[in-house]
Amino acid sequence: MDTYLFIDGENLLYKVKDALREIGTPKHKIDLNNLDLSSLIAEVLVGYTIAKKTFYAAKLKMFKETKEKSRILIHKQRVLKQNLERQGFEFLIAGNVRPQAVSTDGKTTYVFKEKGVDVKIAVDLVSLCCDKKIDTAILCSSDSDLQPAITEIKRRGVKVVYLGFEISPNKGLTFTCDKTILFRNSEILKHCPPKH
């Protein structure tokens, strides 16, 4: 049996941006396409031999209300996918991203919300456990909705490592998992240098 790494992609990218901003990186200098995720993972998960690394992302579509924003997001996801596949990650599309209209001061803007990625991660955790393909699951997500799946696979003998962020670790996942490992801001900066 093997150790698998499960990454909630949108969650990871959001937390990486937060970490970089916290240490003073200007927003316009953050380029997640240059993220050397494989080296970052290797530095943080010393002693673990990972058989499979899966990066879960939601399917992006072109929406008529937000054509230009949709086009930019789709292009960024393609570049990210190519980058991560070169680094040995499986880039798995699960769930969808949908725009939600938000009205502020009589002005409508759109916020993109991801749905379904956590469900796919939970299903994969349980099915791989039941098929006896994993003995250790490393979970990089801050979604407390995954706790029931974690509890179930632990009951079946799988060790679960929560891989979180020092800026905002999830207390529920820290409590539910067997072990917690946190990315430090300095490690993130080293593997995701700012744009020049």
Structure-token pair, residue 86: 């070169």
Query: In the predicted model, what is the mean pLDDT of residues 1-14?
Result: 94
The token duo for 25 is: 């990186």
Among 96, 15, 110, which residue's Cα sits nearest to residue 56? 96
Model pLDDT for residues 69-115, shown as the tens digit of each residue: 778 888 888 999 999 999 999 999 987 766 666 777 777 666 656 66
Report the alpha-carbon distance of residue 150 to residue 136 in Å, rounded: 11
Query: Which residue ranges form the domains of the chain, and what is each CATH number?
Result: 2-191 (3.40.50.1010)
Residue among 95, 139, 135 nearest 117 (CA) = 95
The CA distances from residue 176 to 142, 143, 144, 165, in Å, are 12, 12, 9, 16
Q: What is the pLDDT of residues 8-37, one digit of tens each?
A: 999 999 999 999 999 988 888 888 877 899
Residue 177 per-residue DSSP state: S
137 and 156 in contact (C-beta within 8 Å)?
no
